[in-house]
Amino acid sequence: MFHRPASRPRLATAAVALGLLCTLSASAWADGPDPGAATLPATAVASAPGSATALSGYAIQSTTKVPDPASAVSSPGYRASGWYPAGPRSTVLAALLANGKYADPFYSTNLKNIPRSDFTVPWWYRSDFTVTDTSERTYLDFSGVISASDVYVDGHRVADARQVTGAYTHHELDITSLVRAGTNTVAFRIRPNDPDKNLTMGWIDWLQPPPDQNMGIVRDVLVRRGGPVALRDAHVLTRLDVPSLRTADLTVRARARNETGSAVTATVSGRIGSVSFSKTVPLAPHQTRAVTFSPSEVPGLRLRSPKVWWPAGMGGQPLYGLDLTASVAGAASDTAHETFGVREVKAPLNSDGARQYSVNGRRLLSKGGGWSPDEFLRWDRGYVEDRLRYVLDLGLNTVRLEGHIEPDEFFDLADRYGILTLPGWECCDKWEGQVNGGETGERWTDADYPVARASMAAEAARLRDHPSVVSFLIGSDFAPDARIEKTYLDALEEADWPTPVIAAASDNSSPVSGRSGMKMTGPYDWVPPGYWYAKREGGATGFNSETGAGPDIPTLDTLRRMMSPAELDTLWRNPDVRQYHRSPSPVFGTLKIYDAALAGRYGPPTGLTDYVRKAQLAQYEAVRAQFEAYGRNATDAAKPSTGVVHWMLNSGWTSLHWQLMDRYLDQGGAYFGAKKANEPLHVQYSYDDRSVVVVNNRHTPVSGLSARVTLFDPDGTQRYDRTATGLTVRGDGARVTALTVPSSVKGLATTHLARLVLRDAGGREISRNVYWLSTRPDTLDWANTDWYHTPTTGYADLRGLGSMAKVPVSASATTSLGPGGTSTTRVTLRNDGTGTTPSLLTDAHLVDAEGRPVLPVRWSDNEVSLWPGESVTLTATFRTADLHGSVPGVRVSGWNTTERTVRSR
């Protein structure tokens, strides 16, 4: 399940080099740079026309330690004495961390101890590459420079920081006249980054920002080769016949550019599957011409019975490939390849003004999370793929990228897995400097508009063929003004942008795009489960682009990896203390709101372990309720819910808030609460009206279902039991109300449990859902709602859970090898208690011989509740290599279950 496929061929060299850098950092560089020269292998550049070779790495150094002129630094043979090696995509700090210069920044306050002054000056990045054939033209092709750079090749400046500025702008520099046979050198003098002053990347209030502000080069720098005619901007426009899906029209577009001072005639030929096409293109000296192939010219570009791309859970994810070649006098001059999918995305406003997405004519509820890259922007394909697989495991279909728009491989993976993406610009810094009210971003000057347009044009060209990309959000907390919006829209139109453009992630309007159809009404801090059912503020109506119940306390395993013993002691004892691992924001600096609710509802914690176990219950019920409320309301006739993005999916750092999974991919209450809520066929309890509802997230209707609800006191005494039979529920998110729990049940304890069980026509259990409830509800102070939460003036009484007797849960496990280097452990849990008390939220953790969690792991289910005599078999799929040769163990714990570990057979 978690096998990591090989990278694309052109990245192989970079991967080898990165491995070499890791070896260096573990040896000679462990205590700082080698006093000798930083000798990195030169990148061997391919000669074939159309080839693009990524530089395999750099030597980097602060300009304060380099007295030599740029002409010397950027010349072959320069001795980079005392420089640090860096990977092909690396910020300055990422390279220094790889070289062991600083202690683990994810632990305690180590990040705070890294001096910011080291990064207030430019840094040099230099790399050598070799060319064997100088008869072809050579270009330097790159984006991802943070924040700006002067660029030199073989001792000559080829661009300055006024031209190369902005993290997303794309640059192609013709260096043919400078390149020689043998070794060549490219050097970047990178300027410091300030997200409030530069159109780059910042971290807002997600985590403690990196001291270097991510200055560096975070995407591949390519050396391209080609002949007299360059082929650029290749892409495919698709028009799918909806709703029949019987045909799809493909239009291929590209630009042919004559790089010579003489007139030439190029032949541009292409292929999509078995369909071939070609045309002759005369080009005057240095002329660029658009080249188009349409179904009217090439009948084969009207596909019959096309392979249609669907989001995960709605169908398959087939992809097509376009190959283009430009030839002159029968010789290949340049090539282009694009992968694309055939699908249609619509997102009109519904009658309530909310954005409603549909794909291929089928409406969907967008269920997602806010994506965060690694804090130091280190690209790790395997780690990214693990998180995207978690997205699918959680039953989500969307991720939102507010800024930090990931490299190409991210969207390749999203295409393959069917995960919809919502990229866009970020809030609260320079990107919204004109309109962001009291935030810190500086207002734009005339020099910023060309950078913004170039950024939009580059990202549009890069993302438009990816079927996973379903919109671009040109605003976040605020919508752009008329001049900025026109800047963006002109670039998008020129790039043939194919999907809806959204004015903002908040409920704002822009002059041209109009109303966003989204809302950003919070919450961002703790609210009780019942909050989500109200059709107001952040409740389950409309499209909520970022929302969640705030803090997420990780598992004990993760907490001990990220915090010192003293910090862990303060974590549970003192809610008023600022938590470094929460946020730099004064609003979210402490856990005061969260801790007050935890103590008020469950009782004051008695120690760290008790604090964490209560946190897992609180996070399970909060996240489950959020997704269940949006799922239930998706088909309402009035004010339906159309989308919800949990804020956030993950953190790029070791964090105490805004995450469904932690930095190390461990899973706790928030994760399994979301997984439970988003089951394909799901039975759930409604906090607002006590209805028991069945939601069918599959496309196919289901009939013959039965739903049973049983209420228990904490000791297992049964107080109520009802079953509804013969239920039918349509597909695509439809729901049916099975029954409603009475408002009062005789003898029911203040704190009680509700067990919901859904069975199919054959009597097989297909969904089980257990709630801990109170006859005393949480009381919300709606009148004093602010932008980040609604205060709670009275808490539900769940303290009765503390009286639950300990119950014995036995466990047995067997492990078998699976495909692709994976293994599967089958775990059978059984409540062996002789009384009536259930085991509540019983957790199984896969561990190695040292008791450390084996991660990532995909559980079929987890954090289950079992009544005496009940058993359940769970499966855990993982990479065999992550056991490091040990026999897997299963650590079983729970709310009222004594922790124990059993070894697998």
What is the secondary structure of 73-126 as a DSSP string?
Answer: HTSTT---BTPEEE-SSEEHHHHHHHTT-S--TTSTTGGGGS-GGGGSS-EEEE
Residue 174 a catalytic site member: no
User: How does strand 43-44 pair with strand 123-131?
Assistant: parallel
Contact 728, 702 (CB under 8 A): yes
The backbone torsions φ and ψ at residue 813, rounded to the nearest 5 degrees and listed phi first, read -145, 145
CA–CA gap between residue 559 and residue 133 (Å, rounded):
55
User: Could you give the CA distance from residue 474 to residue 21 in angstroms, rounded to a whole number?
Assistant: 38
Which sign does the torsion angle of CA 761, 763, 764, 766 carry?
A: positive
Select which of 259, 402, 546, 621 is catalytic.
Answer: 546
Neighbours of 173 (CB within 10 A): 18
Q: Is 768 exposed, middle or buried (0-12, 13-18, 19+ CB in 10 A)?
A: buried
Please, how many CA atoms are within 13 Å of residue 140, restricted to the half-sphere of its CB? Answer: 25
- Which among 441, 466, 9, 407 is positioned nearest to 221, based on CA atoms? 407
Output the six-digit token pair for 483.
């001049």
Contact criterion met (CB below 8 Å) for 622 and 523: no
How does DSSP classify residue 883? G
For residue 756, which phi and psi values (nearest 5 degrees)? Answer: -110, 135
Number of H helices, E strands in the chain: 12, 51
For strands 542-547 and 641-646, give the pairing: parallel
**CA-to-CA dists, residue 333 to 135, 176, 178, 230, 233, angstroms:** 12, 15, 20, 7, 15
The Cα 391–Cα 416 span in angstroms is 13
Q: Who contacts 837 (Cβ-Cβ below 8 Å, separation ≥6)?
A: 714, 715, 716, 804, 805, 807, 868, 896
**210: which 2 tokens?**
């990196």
Interatomic CA distance for residues 130 and 181, integer angstroms: 7
Residue 85: phi and psi, rounded to 5, are -75, 145
CA dist., res. 170 & res. 151, Å (int): 14
Round to whole Å and give the CA distance between 891 and 900: 6
- Tokens read off for 649: 């999916």
How far apart are alpha carbons 268 and 288 in whole angstroms? Answer: 13
Place of tokens 């908040």: 506
The vertex-524 CA angle with 536 and 508, nearest 5°, equals: 55
Q: Which residue out of 259, 477, 595, 797 is catalytically annotated? A: 477
To the query of whether residue 546 is one of the catalytic residues in this protein, the response is yes
Helix ranges restricted to H, 656-791: 669-677
Please name which of 716, 539, 702, 497 lies closest in space to residue 630, comparing C-alpha atoms: 539
Return the bridge partners of 740, or none. 691
Encoding tokens for residue 726?
A: 């013969």
Reduced 3-state DSSP string for 790-843:
CCEEECCCCHHHHHCCCCCEEEEEEEEECHHHEEEEEEEEEECCCCCCCEEEEE
What is the DSSP pairing of strand 366-370 with strand 641-646?
parallel
Could you tell me which of 859, 890, 879, 883 has the C-alpha nearest to residue 390? 859
Q: Which residue type does 687 have?
A: Y
Choose among 814, 801, 796, 775: nearest CA to 865: 801
Q: Distance (Å, rounded) from C-alpha 186 to C-alpha 124?
A: 10
Residues annotated as catalytic (active site), given as ranges? 477, 546
